[in-house]
Structure 1
Amino acid sequence: MAETLGSLCDKLTIIKLKQWHSDDERRLESLADQQKQLQDEINEFVSAAVAGQIPLERLVFAANKVYKQQGNELPEVAGNIGEVFSQLAEVNCKLWHEQEKVYEFEKVPVEEKDKVVKKLAVLNLERNRCIDEIDKTFKILVETLNCSKN
């Protein structure tokens, strides 16, 4: 997958989740390094995009997920980059905890298994919508900045 602001934000939220759920000092040091690298990469990406060094079409990489609308109602994903980034972080927290159930799927009661799988699918769709919305909003922002320069 091509790197976009949304995908970089997604990776950062996952690193933060790993940090939150780890007590291992060596792992935490490694995650702190990864966090710093990602923060630097985000800053460099934003600077390069604003400076026109990244073609506008590379600022988005839509997930293009096709899914059945009926029965798969998703929350609205809208707002500024910070608001959608916050929603992405929340979705990734929910995904983390739902995924934990799958690691010991044999312990999930039979009548709950379908619900767990469905919840994972819907949360992943919401996650992808958040990533796409960050990318779309950022592209519009960069286009607007470029127009005002000219």
Structure 2
Amino acid sequence: MAETLGSLCDKLTIVKLKQYHTEDPVRLSSLNEQQLQLQEEIQDFVSDAINGLIPLNKLTFKANKVFKKEGNETSAISGSIGEVFAKLAEINCELWHEQEKVYDFENVNADEKNHVINRLAILNLERNNCIDLIDNGFKESLTLKNNG
């Protein structure tokens, strides 16, 4: 996947989740380095885009998910880039906890297994929607700046 603002934001939320869920000092040190690198990458990406070093057509990279829409309805997500980034962080937290159930899937109640799998699919679709919305919102902001 090509790097976009949305994909970089997604990576940063995952690093933050890993930091929250570990107490291992060696792992925390590595994660802190990753966080700083991602923050720098985000800053450089935004700066390069604002300064015209990244063409507008390279600011988005659609996930183009192919899935059965019936039964996989996602919630509507909208708002500013910051609001969508916050929603992305929330969705990644939910994904983390659903994924934890999969790691112990043999102990998940039989009637809940389908729900867990479906919830993972929906959350992943919503995660990709957030990434696309961040990318499109950023591109739209730059387009308006360039045309105004």
TM norm. shorter chain > 0.5:
yes
- Output aligned runs, 1:20-99, within 5 Å: 20-99=20-99
Give the structure 2 partner of residue 135 of structure 1.
135
Match of 1:111 in 2: 111
Deviation at 1:16, TM superposition (A): 0.2
Percent identity (aligned): 61
Deviations 1:1-32 (A, max 9, x none): 00000000000000000000000011111101
Contact 2:4/2:59, CA 8 A, preserved across alignment = yes
Unmatched segments (≥5 aa) in structure 2: none
Give, in whole Å, the separation in 2 of the partners of 1:43 and 1:145. Answer: 18
Unaligned runs of 5+ in 1: none
Q: Counterparts of 1:145 and 1:46 in 2: how far apart (Å)?
A: 13
Look up the match of 1:101: 101
Moved more, 71-80 or 90-99: 71-80
Cα shift at 1:99: 0.1
Contact 1:50 1:146 in 2 (8 A): no
In 1: Cα distance, 2:52 partner to 2:141 partner: 12
- Residues in 2 aligned to 1:17 and 1:41: alpha-carbon distance in whole angstroms: 19
1:6 matched to 2:22? The reply is no
Distance (Å, rounded) in 1 between the aligned partners of 2:31 and 2:68: 37
Q: Deviations over 1:28-76 (max 9, x none)?
A: 1110110000000000000000111001111000111133333222111
1:86 Cα offset (Å): 0.2
Aligned-pair CA distance for 1:146: 1.4
- 2: distance between equivalents of 1:120 and 1:74? 11
Match of 2:19 in 1: 19
Secondary structure at the aligned position of 1:131 is classed as helix
Number of aligned residue pairs: 148
User: What secondary structure sits across from 1:72 in the alignment?
Assistant: coil
CA contact (8 A) 2:94 2:123 kept: yes
Which one-letter code corresponds to 1:10 in the other structure? D
Deviation at 1:145, TM superposition (A): 1.2
Give distance in 2, aligned partners of 1:122 and 1:94. Answer: 11
